[in-house]
Amino acid sequence: MTIQAIIKKAVKRLELEGKLLTPDFYAEAFCKEATKAGINTEDCSHVKKFTSTLNKDFQKELTQYHIKSMSELARFLISKLNRTNSSHCADLLESNTVFTKRVLQVVEVLHNRQASEMAKKSLDLLSREASPSEIDQYRQLWVNFITTYDDTFLTKLHSLGDIDTKDLKSSIENLNINDSSAGLAHSMELSSIASLLVSSLVPSIASSVNDKIAGISEKIKKNPSLLESVSIESEIKSAISLRIALDKESVKEMVESLDGVLDKLSLRLIDMIESSDKSTKEIQHIKSELEAYNEEPITNFKVAHKKLYTIAIALEENTQALSKNLKSHSTEVKALSLKIEKLESELEQSREESKEDFLTKLYNKRALDEFMSLKEAEYERYGHNFSIVMFDIDFFKAVNDNHGHDAGDAILTAFAKILKSEARNVDIVGRFGGEEFMAILESTDASGGVIFAEKVRKKVQKAKFMYKQTRIELTVSAGVCERKNNSSLQNTINSADESLYKAKKDGRNRVVKK
């Protein structure tokens, strides 16, 4: 291979890795391609050459820091020279520690309970010999605090005077407490009522909130004074009706499984009764009751429990002749009992929402929605841009039709692994629904999103998907959009989805950005 070919490959590597064509990045890429081609150049062996002249301690330390270029070696040696004055370093470290403690002591007396508690814990951390991991953990806690801190609660006091969010003391002094105490009390009362009302709108059994309920809840939380408006009454009534309907639907779904167990138990007992002495009036009465239970649909857990209890009492008091048959079928009865317990446990666990898709082990749609809300908050507060990439497996229905749903599940799992392997640690990938997947790319514009999507698309196209000794050809289409080019998060999602639709309409197996 010629030097010109290696140069071209080095430039191509930088383009694929999304790096700028700087001297340092180019030198690193050139040496990698030269090594890959088996060509040893003097320019690429400078680091190794100079490293060999240092003592063993320096060589060991260089290995730990993974020094690969001359610029990295120079920075390392400069930092070592700057640290040669140990007394100066120790004095500087002590001064920084004392300074940090004083800052924490100031934070501790400020009027924020969460910040004060974190300051106390941080002071305790500095008072002992903490490990780097502990210090880094507390640093992350402070980062989380400043990222999520919200001072909008002060805006509720604007009606009482001038508010300066940077000077809490002057804001309190400027409040017109005497003249507006009645209005403040009324406002606080409405806020309390609004909070209780919003809590009452949350379904007590259903695991999710209807969009309409969420909308009116958010409206009331933002503006409690709406409760004094007549127009809001109909919306609240509608939201309450929706909440009741959601709970009823959830109860119906949970009871259906229990109702099925009741049906099987009833049929089994009827079969046992019919095999006994049919001349007994008590047995005929129990049989009639069980048949009536089957005809009447169960809509309540208490009704189901009462039916089972009635059957048990009737069997205990009036069907002594069935004891032998019941003993012979004790194993089946125990199995049914365990099944009921398992179903009840599953019903309880269903209330706890999981963020993981059960098949692909990626984030599910609910988790993706939460992450997008967090990214949107960071964008609005700090201007951190991000991109959304929507993926859709081409002709996925044909895979299910031709090879079966087990093959479709295997394809989804394999694609999820490819998607996860190409994503960075800061990126978020998940299953958006069906054969559609989403990637949320941190600090990435649309062009960077296209590079990521193309990597995934090419890898899928080259992959060999095998199912039961049969190779399945597979491609994927993608739509890319960045937040900065849209007026809202929802518009960004819609734009990415429209780009995906265009990619499929234009022939599939391609990436389209907007």
Judge contact between 107 and 115, C-beta under 8 A.
Answer: yes
Q: Taking the C-alpha atoms of 445, 450, 455 and 460 in order, what is their torsion angle to the nearest 10 degrees?
A: 130
Cα(447)–Cα(389) distance, integer angstroms: 11
Rg (CA), the chain: 34
Give how far the C-alpha of residue 281 lies from the chain's centroid of Cα atoms, to the nearest Å: 61
| Alpha carbon distance 86, 176 (integer Å) | 58
Q: Residue 508: left if φ>0, alpha if ψ -120 to 50, beta else—which one?
A: left
Type of residue found at 140: Q
Alpha carbon 418 to its chain centroid, in Å, reads 19
Q: DSSP letters of 241-307?
A: HHHHHHHHHHHHHHHHHHHHHHHHHHHHHHHHHHTS-TT-HHHHHHHHHHHHHHHSPP--HHHHHHH
Spatial separation of the C-alpha atoms in residues 347 and 352, rounded to whole Å: 10
Across 118-243, the runs of DSSP E, i.e. the strands, are: none
Do the beta carbons of residue 54 and residue 62 sit within 8 Å? yes
Would you put residue 157 in left (φ > 0), alpha (ψ -120 to 50) or beta? alpha
* Residue 396: both structure tokens together: 């996925």
Quick check: helix, strand or coil at residue 152?
helix
Contacts of 495 (CB under 8 A, 6+ apart): 479, 481, 485, 486, 514
Q: At 250, list the tokens.
A: 């959830």
DSSP class of residue 477 equals E
- The structure tokens 């969010």 sit at 165
Three-state DSSP at 38 gives coil
Annotated catalytic residues are 435
Task: Mention every residue, 6+ apart, whose C-beta is less than 8 A from residue 298.
Answer: 255, 258, 259, 262, 304, 307
Distance CA 359, CA 411 (A): 11
Q: Residue 72: how many CB atoms within 10 A of its CB?
A: 16
Cβ atoms < 10 Å from Cβ of 6: 21
Query: Which residues make beta-bridge pairs with 437?
Result: 391, 431
